[in-house]
Amino acid sequence: MRFILAILLIVLFIYSLALVLLNGTPVTVDLGFNHIVPEMRVGLLVLITLALGVVVGLLLGVQLFRVFQNNWEIKRLRKEIERLRKEQIQFAQSAAAEAAASVRHEKTVLDIQPESERNSPL
CA distance 46 to 40: 10
pLDDT confidence of 78, banded at 50, 70, 90?
A: very high
| DSSP E strands, 1-122 | 26-28, 39-41
pTM, two decimals, is 0.50
pLDDT confidence of 114, banded at 50, 70, 90?
A: low
C-alpha angle 32-34-37 in degrees, rounded to nearest 5? 105
Nearest to 25 by CA among 48, 49, 46: 46
- The ranges assigned to domains in the chain are 2-112
Amino acid at position 31, single letter: L
As a whole number of Å, the CA-based R_g of the chain is 39
Model pLDDT for residues 3-47, shown as the tens digit of each residue: 898 899 899 888 888 888 888 888 887 777 766 777 888 888 888
